[in-house]
Amino acid sequence: MSTIRTLGGEVQLFYTRIEGGGAVGNSLPDLTGALLLRAPLGITTPTDVARLHYVQILGSEAAGLRIDGAASIWADSADLVISGGASHPISASATMVSAIPEGTYTGNADDRIVLTTANTETIYTDATIFDRGVPYLVGQPGQVGELRVQGNQAGLAVLTIQAGVELQFQQDGVLTVEHATGDAPATGALVALGTADDPIVFTSASEHPAAGDWLGVYFGGSPDPLDALDHVRIEYAGGASSSGSNSCMYPGEPINDAAIRIFGQPAGAFVTNSEIIASAAHGIDRGWRSDTVVDLAPGNAFDVAGCTQTTARRADGACPDVVPCP
């Protein structure tokens, strides 16, 4: 069986079982599915095209469900079961991560939900990553995945991550909250509020993870006041990048790579009650210029190869004769 797909139409499925679909053909397993949802051609804003209640997708060769482009699913959809597949349960354009419905997604060859991250899949509007009981894989297998949050002419884009979510990043992957540099206000924001019992985890996708597998969480521009990371754990980040910053340099280090890099001065400390573990470089890079000190270390735990946090340059660009490395 090939694929049930929408392209310009809508589908409503109740108490339905789809078996043995998702023939890969000339596509890739994570770019098609037994149920392939696409919005009408030319549509770029999220558009509901499917309502799914008590639907089972079993034994798919490709992803069970592929959410493509601007296709969305009605918010009242529930009780979706995807199992027995030869690939992942769900593959979704990163822009449509909020559309992934409540369901059960175990018993597949790989139970992670894939977020594809092509240039056209930047998160431009408010979105939420919900805890659906399985990890998320950022980027297709074998490709670098950059999950980017950046607003457009419509205004600020806020990515909210629910407590308990685990995001896994491919080799050299990165979560970028505003790609632009400089002092202009960021057009993207990240709200990741875990709990002591259900932290939010950013980690390596490798079967055998190691420090520096992926780059980390980067904040460009002047961070938005909405940015908040609480009870977050960042593991195996700090990989080598090509992006310099305005922090003071250390001998023998051309770039201050870190698990969290902040390129503009924040209004205050927005990383709290969190852990940075197995960073191949620093914990937090304070990559801005200012005479006002923003201390991001208190209340957080670090197990890193470099400094817990780097030192921002003064407003005139100067650095201490001996740069502190706490």
pLDDT digits (tens, 9 = 90+) for 207-258: 999 999 999 999 999 999 999 999 999 999 999 998 889 999 998 888 999 9
Percent pLDDT > 70 in the chain is 99
Quote the pLDDT of residue 29: 83
For the entire predicted model, the pTM comes to 0.95
Scored b (16 or more CB within 10 A) or e, 115-150 reads bbbeeebbbbbbbebbebebbbbbbbbebbbbbbbb
Task: Output the CA torsion sign for 123, 129, 171, 90.
Answer: negative
Residue 217 three-state SS:
strand
Strands of 220-321, DSSP E: 228-230, 232-235, 258-262, 271-272, 275-279, 282-286, 301-304
pLDDT digits (tens, 9 = 90+) for 202-213: 999 999 999 999
d(CA 323, CA 312) in angstroms, rounded, equals 10
**Which regions in the chain score pLDDT beneath 50?**
none
**Residue 232: phi, psi to the nearest 5?**
-115, 145
Residue ranges of E strands in 181-220? 188-193, 200-204, 216-219
SS3 121: helix
Max CA-CA distance within the chain? 70
Angle CA 323–228–248, to nearest 5: 15
Tell me, what's the pLDDT at 120? 64
Whole-number pLDDT of residue 258? 98
